[in-house]
Amino acid sequence: MRLLIVEDDTDVRDLLIELCEDEGYDADGAGSVAEATAALRARPYDLLILDLWLPDGSGSAVLRQLREVGSAVPAVVCSGWPDAVLRTRMFEAGADAVLEKPFSCTELIARIHALLRHPRPGAAAGRGGVGLSAD
């Protein structure tokens, strides 16, 4: 299983990559919307971890792009804003889970396991799903 971790804080991103790799997942990192979009065009992913606030936009923009093209890849959105309205908007945009920063690594791993327990059609572009096109 391959995960894409989109987080602009390099230390946090590296920690999350290491955490996921320790759990047996392959993990790639991106630090911006542009890097995430390029990664999603280059290969399929089984799950995304998206920081909400990125230097060139919002993680929700990446999520909306995926949902607009029919991708069902599970997505966990992470945000430092403890706002119920914002969390609701993320679910409406297609998030499968929303975690408030700082979050427990144990909870993140549990959510990843739960979301990957039953793969969905369209969850990874290379496995019958839909990814982002180069258009």
CATH number of the domain residue 37 falls in: 3.40.50.2300
pLDDT > 70 in the chain, percent? 86
Instruction: Give the pTM.
Output: 0.85
Would 47 be classed as within a structural domain?
yes
122 found inside a domain: no
The amino acid at 96 = D
Of 18-22, 66-70, 85-89, highest mean pLDDT: 18-22
Give the pLDDT score at 127. 41
| CA nearest neighbour of 4 among 27, 21, 38, 22 | 27
Task: Give the helix/strand (H/E) hosting 39.
Answer: helix 33-42
CA distance 107 to 132: 29
User: Which domain range does residue 56 map to?
Assistant: 2-117
Phi and psi at residue 69, to the nearest 5°: -95, 5
Domain count for the chain, please give it: 1
Q: Is residue 59 part of a domain?
A: yes
Residue 126, Cβ density class (10 Å: 0-12 exposed, 13-18 middle, ≥19 buried): exposed
Residue 82 pLDDT greater than 60, yes or no:
yes
